[in-house]
Structure 1
Amino acid sequence: MTGRRRPAPAVALALAVATVLAACTGADGRPAPDPVPDATATPSPSAQVRATDTTSPTAPFTLVAEATDVEASLRTSRELFAAAPVVVVAPSGQPAAQEVAARAAVELGVPLLVGPAPAPAAASTDGSAATPSAPPPDGSTEAADPALSGELDRLGATTVVAVGDVGGLGEGSAGGSADDGPEAGTPGRPEVRRAAASVAAVADATGLRLGAPASTDPSTFAAGVAALGPGTLTPAADLTLARDAPLDDVVALAVDTPEQLASIATARAAAVPVHLVPASAPNPQATASVVEALHTAARPRTLALGAAFAAEPALEWKVRSAATGVQLPAGGQLLFPRHQFVALYGTPATTTLGVLGEQDAAASVQRAREVAAGYTGLTDRTVVPMFEIIATVAAGSAGADGNFSNEQSVAALRPWVDAAAAAGVYVVLDLQPGRSDFLSQARQYEELLRLPHVGLALDPEWRLGPDEQPLQRIGSVDAAEVNEVGRWLADLTNAHALPPKIFLVHQFRLDMIGNRAALDTSRPELAVVLHADGQGSQPAKQATWRTLHGDAPAGVAWGWKNFLDEDLPVLTPEQTVRDVSPVPDLVTYQ
């Protein structure tokens, strides 16, 4: 059963057990799900059991990237809870207090909010000991924080468990401990029960017999809270709540930092599974376990928790892509720099254009694996075999369409693409458009480019003007046309939740790509590769390699080609890795 989605704020106050369990209509006009009480709770027959009300985010993807732990906790509460008669609050910037409070909140099944640290004492003007600030007019020593108070009001909170030195609650002493006993709430405000940031003090205030923290290292707290299960401890009778149904249509991603403790705890209190991503790489595509977890969860709504997510471009697509479960051999979906690709180049149509066409598809798979195996262990990257299939072959005659390019059919290429997929071989389709243009030809292969293991290559050498023919001159393309194709391919990748694709552009002379500095490398859906495919002596090839690297656009990967018949000499895998600097991300054999 799934909690309700975005009902109007409701206040569930002092409902008798029979009332809570009776069928009723939610604030959104639909029947409310049956509450799920804590099976271990044993309130007396006369006790009143109050109920939480959970709610799913309305959008398939929701980003909670507020900058502070206070703001993030409030936002997460608004996303997942419509009502909570009991709320736990912990002080900002104090991970140890938040860790204990998080475990209490998950046990109770209620939000964990973060309040401001109490105001410091006012400094004396004569240099003597500091004196407390003057109390607010209502007699409390700490003014109520408007944002915190507003969320407590929205939730209909009648009891607040304050763990640690929390300010902003607008009642009594800003300090204190459970020994002070529950404080009577000011009319219109919740009762506040204060406890020091220790399991013993929390037990006195709530009845929850929490164990000692698994670790005192704050860097482990997020993982510990994310792993918490549903409540199994028995709280005090007056804190026993009937829980709303678990939110079984929501999964959460959280950046693995202490600042996300409250948000993670609130998600777990609503029975939402939470999977962590490292703060250094907050991309769900980068981590194999996250890709697998999102795929296994198969939930239609994702909640992303963490300020670091705000700087992650196209995060919504990255989540959808990761949820497909597609993974590269090293795990995850990112291409570079963790992988090195080793490709056979050619076309099934002929044996004269490269080694790929010298054998059938099954034999080509085996050959690609054997060639790639020569690079295994030479770097710390995972080596991936690859086909670069010439899908459109520049021709010496105009042909029926007059474009001096022979376009192979999707049906002819499909067996090769499928054989590669089954064997873990990546595929790039290469275009030699003649008098056509790259985008028109790329569109002809959209069916294949919708597959997760198929990328695209553009060969400007064979991009000709309206009066030109192949082999009369070396062709060229302007960066504007390359970018047009890149946008189309990136949009296709995004629309179909595909992993990032290799987008390769061949070049062995600077004038082959006009205005190269304008190449767009900003789309995370694409890994742009500049491929140096000149042939000849090694000093000449190395000079071309260095020239192409000069003033290259930032963010590109690099490809190097070894010609088996034309290079003098042909580099071995060890020589390719040792002598070509930087080490190529892609090595192609023709």
Structure 2
Amino acid sequence: MSLNATSSAFVATLGLMAALALPACSTRPAEGEKAPDGTTAATGDSAAKPAPVDTIKLKMQAMRRDSLKADSIARKTGQLPGAILPGHRIVAFYGNIRSKGMGILGREPKDQMFRKFAGVLKEWQAADPSIPVQAALHNVTITAQGSPGKDGKWRLMNSKATIEEVMSWAKEHNCLLFLDVQPGHSTLQAELPKLEQYLKDPMVHLGIDPEFSLATMPGVRPNQKIGTLDAKDVNFTINFLARIVSENHLPPKVLTVHRFTRKMLTNYKNIKLDPRVQVVMHMDGHGEPTLKKDSYHDYIQTEPVQYTGFKLFYEYDARPAPHHIMTPVEVLTQLTPKPLYIQYQ
């Protein structure tokens, strides 16, 4: 399903917002001319030196005005023009196109995978005809590693060629694209700027994974312990995306935050929402249906942020028998609230 119409409306709205965000101009009299207060402008060497310009302060003031404008639009309409949620249900295939072991996205040959994906999308549309399904690819782009690497940060970013290839897959099949970040022993503050050039594309969105965020756990390798992020990290990410939206006149970005334990995300009540970013708290634990539903209730439903997501695992949810992968109908009838982001790994 194309979102071009709403995206175009949002571009026009953001153009107005950007214009309103510009700092006000002032005029000064030319040398030797009278100012409104009766004084005369200085000339030659006696001219006063202009005060240094605090560009960071001006930028922050402009962003603040832009944020207030976005808030006022959202209060009138419920969300900003071009927003994907809650008017669509996103269904995504997850993994890494260079890895067979990380998920369905890279496990099967491309054409075979997309045929399977088309069938899944039809199942979700049939399960809930009241809301259109939006296809997405969710590619782990900065991946936690089993070795520290030269800088000791235990993470590796996909090459430019790989990112551009998965972007081409998404555009070819009219999908959104989520770039997922597992920071390892690095931080979101250090890693997210590496993805900014790609996030300027309106079809590209972001995921962050606390499970593989280990900066507060020196000496722990990924998969030894479950990592953690705090509300301040999520707020940094929201502000990072909001700036990109404003500066590039884009529709709102979607941010997915993976979670399946309480400690994966601390101080969730301190998360500060922004209409330029739609936050999905995403339950991505695997196991049999009862365990998955309990995790959704405990860490997503009872600690609400904004929108919700739910992951289904082709390999792990069905083991051991007689466990099974939950069907779209089961997910929609057994989870409250009904998730608007569905991911298959």
TM-score relative to the length of structure 1: 0.44
Residue of structure 2 in register with 1:397 after alignment: 147
**Partner SS for 2:141:** strand
Number of residue-to-residue matches in the alignment: 282
What is the CA-CA distance between 1:448 and the residue it aligns to?
A: 1.0
Residue of structure 2 in register with 1:339 after alignment: 88
User: What does 1:159-238 correspond to in 2, within 5 Å?
Assistant: none
Match of 2:293 among 523, 538, 542: 542
Instruction: Tell me how far apart the structure 1 counterparts of residues 183 and 240 of structure 2 sit (CA, whole Å).
Output: 17
Higher helix share: 2
Name the CA shift for 1:418/1:317 in 2 (closer, same or farther; >3 Å): farther
What is the CA-CA distance between 1:401 and the residue it aligns to?
A: 2.4
Percent identity, aligned pairs only, is: 27
Residue of structure 2 in register with 1:409 after alignment: 159
Instruction: Tell me how far apart the structure 1 counterparts of residues 276 and 315 of structure 2 sit (CA, whole Å).
Output: 35
Post-superposition CA distance 1:160-185 (Å, at most 9, x none): xxxxxxxxxxxxxxxxxxxxxxxxxx
What is the CA-CA distance between 1:553 and the residue it aligns to?
A: 4.1
Match of 2:174 among 424, 427, 448: 424
Name the CA shift for 1:300/1:456 in 2 (closer, same or farther; >3 Å): closer
Instruction: Tell me how far apart the structure 2 counterparts of residues 287 and 360 of structure 1 sit (CA, whole Å).
Output: 29
Larger Rg: 1
Residue of structure 2 in register with 1:519 after alignment: 271
Instruction: Tell me how far apart the structure 1 counterparts of residues 180 and 117 of structure 2 sit (CA, whole Å).
Output: 17
For residue 537 of structure 1, what is the amino acid of its counterpart? E
Name the CA shift for 1:440/1:367 in 2 (closer, same or farther; >3 Å): farther
Instruction: Tell me how far apart the structure 2 counterparts of residues 410 and 574 of structure 1 sit (CA, whole Å).
Output: 39
For residue 432 of structure 1, what is the amino acid of its counterpart? Q
Residue of structure 1 in register with 2:36 after alignment: none
TM-score relative to the length of structure 2: 0.74
Post-superposition CA distance 1:69-123 (Å, at most 9, x none): xxxxxxxxxxxxxxxxxxxxxxxxxxxxxxxxxxxxxxxxxxxxxxxxxxxxxxx
Instruction: Tell me how far apart the structure 1 counterparts of residues 144 and 6 of structure 2 sit (CA, whole Å).
Output: 44
Residue of structure 2 in register with 1:574 after alignment: 329
Residue of structure 2 in register with 1:370 after alignment: 119
Instruction: Tell me how far apart the structure 1 counterparts of residues 106 and 228 of structure 2 sit (CA, whole Å).
Output: 26
**Partner SS for 2:308:** strand
Instruction: Tell me how far apart the structure 2 counterparts of residues 478 and 289 of structure 1 sit (CA, whole Å).
Output: 33
Name the CA shift for 1:497/1:473 in 2 (closer, same or farther; >3 Å): same
Instruction: Tell me how far apart the structure 1 counterparts of residues 72 and 193 of structure 2 sit (CA, whole Å).
Output: 22
Instruction: Tell me how far apart the structure 2 counterparts of residues 301 and 375 of structure 1 sit (CA, whole Å).
Output: 38
Match of 1:584 among 320, 325, 339: 339
Match of 1:351 among 100, 119, 128: 100
For residue 251 of structure 2, what is the amino acid of its counterpart? P
Residue of structure 1 in register with 2:248 after alignment: 496
Name the CA shift for 1:512/1:494 in 2 (closer, same or farther; >3 Å): same
For residue 278 of structure 2, what is the amino acid of its counterpart? A
For residue 528 of structure 1, what is the amino acid of its counterpart? V
Name the CA shift for 1:491/1:565 in 2 (closer, same or farther; >3 Å): same
Instruction: Tell me how far apart the structure 1 counterparts of residues 103 and 195 of structure 2 sit (CA, whole Å).
Output: 21
Greater RCO, CA 8 A, separation 6+: 2
Instruction: Tell me how far apart the structure 2 counterparts of residues 403 and 289 of structure 1 sit (CA, whole Å).
Output: 40
What is the CA-CA distance between 1:467 and the residue it aligns to?
A: 2.2
Name the CA shift for 1:450/1:302 in 2 (closer, same or farther; >3 Å): closer
**Partner SS for 2:126:** coil
Instruction: Tell me how far apart the structure 2 counterparts of residues 352 and 563 of structure 1 sit (CA, whole Å).
Output: 12
Contact 1:398 1:404 survives alignment (8 Å): yes
Q: Runs of 5+ in structure 1 lacking a partner?
A: 1-285, 304-311, 320-331
Name the CA shift for 1:472/1:363 in 2 (closer, same or farther; >3 Å): same
For residue 262 of structure 2, what is the amino acid of its counterpart? L
For residue 269 of structure 2, what is the amino acid of its counterpart? A
For residue 577 of structure 1, what is the amino acid of its counterpart? L
